Amino acid sequence: MSHIQEISTQCQTLSEDLQKQVLDFIYFLEARYTQKQSTEDVNALTDAELEQACGILKASHGVSLEQIDHKKRNPVILGLMAEEFAIPDDFDKPLPEKLINEFYTDDL
């Protein structure tokens, strides 16, 4: 039995979700070890397939290159909010046991 036949046989026994993971892994290997990828192959993917394969996140609004450049030139100023609020003295005090236990319950 060839490797392709064995892979096909094994995949048929998997759930659809696991089959998708196998396919994603094949795409990963292909991208990693293929030196040249033709533009036809890239264009053949739908936007949804490309987003799923690459993990692309869409912003809720558009951002121009000028806005990105502006943000780079205006970095965050550390200490800007100094003395605007006070951190309580017991900030590092351990949380009450009852509150900690809330993180470990199965109820959501």
pLDDT, tens digit (0-9, with 9 covering 90-100), for 57-88: 555 667 777 776 776 676 777 777 777 778 88
Please say whether the beta carbons of 18 and 24 come within 8 A. Answer: no
Q: Quick one: pLDDT at residue 19?
A: 87
pLDDT-derived band at 3, boundaries 50, 70, 90: confident
Handedness of CA 84, 90, 92, 98 (dihedral sign): negative
Comparing 35 with 87, the larger pLDDT belongs to 87
Chain mean pLDDT for the chain: 75
- Which of 48-52, 55-59, 62-66, 101-105 has maximum average pLDDT? 101-105
- The mean pLDDT value for 78-99 works out to 81
Q: Is the pLDDT of residue 101 over 80?
A: yes
